[in-house]
Structure 1
């Protein structure tokens, strides 16, 4: 058995248990719980020095945070708690939906923030650039150290398999450069209430998926607008100007069609790995969605919140997304009675193994950080029970920790809790891209999605051309790797 397949199996067991711990959003005693844990965390941090005062020579910490679907509330409060727990410490936070672009000039100038809460999948590619340029600090010592609030090493708290993957050990050299933040399933989001009202079954195969799309041609299934007029519903939409959201379909579908070995070859940029009959069968699904009229009109020009709102308003049955969508769209309009549901990506044949791409975000510390020791302490603080509960309460999400299931139980909404059911009967997979050589000019995200999906969805590119473009990029990466040896 390959190592990555073992990692996937371990992850699905852990993540399944996270989803099977209870539901509801009981926040009545949240404040009292938080206050108690605040005292415990503060005491634990102080006691670590033996003299009751945890001190650092440099008390100023600069952090940069991507503001995504989980919102800013958790970050505002956890920063305040950290400052209270470490008297004299001042945290300067930059939080922005485009934070990578905001901090890029600082990084180029050699003056990066001390701590990053930005994933390697973030749109600006700033973390990928840091990985390529060997610009991240080795933080293995953080995971070998004990937690601030319990007698346990931090590495033993993380979901099994995560720290061994290329997402956190990008060079596979036994050293950890990125730290896990949250974890959850990604798949097809739909309105449970609508499906129940219509008596529709959630499609398990691609044939059933498109058959359901054909049902939408019947006037009885049209969307009834506020003025009484009717509009045909679309089968599918996605976050048009951010086409890499479609990775949440692409990778699970390839794994289902060809096994995780097929994905491993792609993640290693092997020749012919993206141009073969298996991959073409998957890419043809996207082409069919567009060519045969299953895509919501105007999708390719929409951003994430616009397409997600349209889906919630009933203009499309499905949208691809993660379980953060409920929190991200909590104030957005929706059809009456809308209830979030998630289903895994369909398979080609009944009985085929289903796969779910797991979401995660990451923490990291730039190699040129001015205050790396305080940044490491902040990272440890984020892994305390208090922080995990606060994230569930304020962001409706779960940390990638073994005991996050119990800690988050009172705070996760039913919608988010139920989305973890997508793991039932499925295998969880992570992206496993091998790191690019230093100085590489290739952007995998650009070549896999940005330069290809939109023209495919608008009929300006064939799936054969899509495969050719990616194979050309892979060939360049292999040449760069050979030259770097």
Structure 2
């Protein structure tokens, strides 16, 4: 039986904008020996999903800044738990390009780490019914402590981050915090103090520039990196109501005072020449390498930066992350507030051959031991509570932990990037134009609002609210 045109059209666009891949024309069949229900057995306290110990498991993991060793370790633990099962583990980078045809053909892997610039568009997969509800996993006993449910081991917000229409369909393994990174040793050597307000930032940038160092650089080929501090500043000015208005596609949300103030701040940063010349043409690795060489003092990035730069960071560099400075004295969120969310997204396709095995694999992966081992090697905060207990932390990871502690309840996150990939691309493109002085703050807001309005009016796009 062929899938309906609506479903196929949904799957054709199940990509982050800009990614393309060939589509399979194979028909989708209903029911077979590979039906997921035929691949599970009796459930027990020790085997909550009824995994059959002789059924193969296929895992496709994103091999990015964190590598894929931690997903391999979970695969090894799975094979030790089920010795007759063979785990086929693949570490790749272009997840969407590789897997879109398989989702179209209803032959997906059993577990997918749907991460990276070329990831599948999760909202589209949800709309097409291609991902499993993970409630059964969340209510299962934790791998390391059967007395506790998996959901109760996760940091605040992790379940919400993966929830669509009231169902949690993906679990994110890392807890990411976004901010501005700098070398603690360089700042100490120069006598510079990290700024708490935007006025202090501009004053410091002038001193940095006078010292022959570019104040800022950014990953110019991927302007979403510099979007993060801009949107963080806007959230601090306007508070949670601004964030909700943006995510809920409310009319004129992108023209709010908070977003206008943030756009003006970054236009000023560019206008004063505080961005390193040529940044627009740099990839993330090139910009980050230049920063590690102290060609620039600040770089915006998420908390994966230390891990991603571990092979090129000079000894004694002591990278640390700070919260985005306050824009005004009347910001609705405190200066310590940070953009934070779980990331590194794992899902179990609804059409997985070994769905039970996929759930068990994630139960192992999201165990405290797995998370702690990951933190040791990746210098990154996992989304499992207590994973850092007893560990000696690097400068970067220590600063991330301190930022989360200082923020307390004042963390925030936008959901539009996950919900509406075309809007995310529109925001990225507009911000690239803004910081390269080809668009004014007003033009920036108008351009994004037009894209948001188009999505709001498009009845074919499934809408989400918060």
User: Smaller-chain TM-score range?
Assistant: 0.7 to 0.9
Counterpart of 2:357?
Answer: 374
Of the candidates 223, 228, 234, which is equivalent to residue 214 of structure 2? 234
Contact 2:174 2:380 (8 Å CA) reproduced: yes
State whether structure 2 residue 27 is matched by structure 1 residue 48.
no
| Structure 2 Cα separation of the partners of residues 56 and 402 of structure 1 | 30
Cα gap change, 1:123/1:55 in structure 2, threshold over 3 Å: closer, same or farther? closer
Give, in angstroms, the shift of residue 306 of structure 1.
Answer: 0.8
The superposition leaves residues 61-86 of structure 1 with CA deviations (integer Å, 9 ceiling, x where unpaired) of 11221222222322233322221221
Task: Name the stretch that deviates more: 271-280 or 261-270.
Answer: 271-280
The superposition leaves residues 388-438 of structure 1 with CA deviations (integer Å, 9 ceiling, x where unpaired) of 2221223222321222232xx3264343123322235432112233985xx
What are the residue-to-residue correspondences of 1:437-452 with 2, within 5 Å? 443-449=422-428, 451-452=429-430
State whether structure 2 residue 139 is matched by structure 1 residue 141.
no
Counterpart of 2:21?
Answer: none
Secondary structure of 1:374 counterpart:
helix
| Structure 1 Cα separation of the partners of residues 124 and 254 of structure 2 | 23
State whether structure 2 residue 182 is matched by structure 1 residue 190.
yes
Counterpart of 2:369?
Answer: 386
State whether structure 2 residue 354 is matched by structure 1 residue 357.
no
Counterpart of 1:102?
Answer: 98
Normalised by the length of structure 2, the TM-score is: 0.82
The superposition leaves residues 204-224 of structure 1 with CA deviations (integer Å, 9 ceiling, x where unpaired) of 111111111111242xx2xxx
Structure 1: segments with no counterpart, 5+ residues: 1-44, 222-231
Task: Name the stretch that deviates more: 281-290 or 102-111.
Answer: 102-111
| Structure 1 Cα separation of the partners of residues 312 and 361 of structure 2 | 33
The superposition leaves residues 15-69 of structure 1 with CA deviations (integer Å, 9 ceiling, x where unpaired) of xxxxxxxxxxxxxxxxxxxxxxxxxxxxxx997159xxx8516621112212222
Secondary structure of 1:182 counterpart:
strand
Counterpart of 1:73?
Answer: 69
Give, in angstroms, the shift of residue 347 of structure 1.
Answer: 0.6
Structure 2: segments with no counterpart, 5+ residues: 1-42
Secondary structure of 1:466 counterpart:
helix
Cα gap change, 1:351/1:196 in structure 2, threshold over 3 Å: closer, same or farther? farther
| Structure 2 Cα separation of the partners of residues 466 and 369 of structure 1 | 42
Counterpart of 1:422?
Answer: 403
Counterpart of 1:276?
Answer: 256
Counterpart of 2:153?
Answer: 157
The superposition leaves residues 450-473 of structure 1 with CA deviations (integer Å, 9 ceiling, x where unpaired) of x21222222222222221122112
Cα gap change, 1:310/1:247 in structure 2, threshold over 3 Å: closer, same or farther? same
Secondary structure of 1:321 counterpart:
strand
What is the aligned residue count?
Answer: 413
| Structure 2 Cα separation of the partners of residues 49 and 422 of structure 1 | 38
The superposition leaves residues 124-157 of structure 1 with CA deviations (integer Å, 9 ceiling, x where unpaired) of 4433431343321111111111123321111111
Of the candidates 227, 231, 235, which is equivalent to residue 251 of structure 1? 231
Contact 1:187 1:422 (8 Å CA) reproduced: no
| Structure 1 Cα separation of the partners of residues 172 and 313 of structure 2 | 32
